[in-house]
Amino acid sequence: MGIISSRHLKIEHRSHVSSSTWRRYDDFMKGGPCKEEFSLFQDCVHEAEKKRELTGPCYPILEKCMEAHSDYYQPILESDKAAEKILYEGLMKAFLPLTVPLNEMNEDANKFITFMEGGDCKESFTALRVNCDFTEEAGNNNEDLFTKCAGLFGTLLKCVADHSDYYHSIVSVTKATEEHLEKDLEALFSKAS
């Protein structure tokens, strides 16, 4: 489960999706085995937004539950995977020459790092890189890793948004990913139940 998912859409972006679609989405989430986690998640996000704090720490419990019950949450999880792919490919295309296949991007990953460290978000980007080891082994050995990294990633995204003049390529890729999620939600939940 990635950072960008259907549950990560900002409240202001929900206006692009009909209210009946959101009701169906909420009903779907509450109708599954993670209804308690979803309610806790919503409360956590509401409190964080009220306090103008990052919402990253709200996600791990819900995401772990959804993964554990992937049979029920399959449509949401598939939408999230598609969004992750759009985000990844968009970022790679923004920073790699068009002649470099995505599966060979490791050679040119330094372009992305150099770009990120060249702007005002160097500190938050470096904190994410230094403190978050996203290997499966690291994740299995450290249950707090996702919570910590979600918070650091949220800090980075906020910084990027605050400095969109420099990070405009990242902002545009993020926006395209959110638009894709909005369309997916509309397609999944706009049909009459």
Kindly indicate the confidence band of residue 137, based on its pLDDT and cuts at 50, 70 and 90: low
- pLDDT, tens digit, 9 for 90 and up, residues 76-95: 888 888 887 887 777 767 66
pTM more than 0.85: no
Sketch the domain layout of the chain as residue ranges: 6-189
Question: SS3 for the chain, per residue?
Answer: CCCCCHHHCCHHHHHHCCHHHHHHHHHHHHCCCCHHHHHHHHHHHHHHHHCCCCCHHHHHHHHHHHHHCHHHHHHHHHHHHHHHHHHHHHHHHHHCCCCCCHHHHHHHHHHHHHHHHCCCCHHHHHHHHHHCCCCHHHHHHCCCHHHHHHHHHHHHHHHHHHCCCCCHHHHHHHHHHHHHHHHHHHHHHCCCC
Q: Does residue 135 carry a pLDDT above 60? A: no
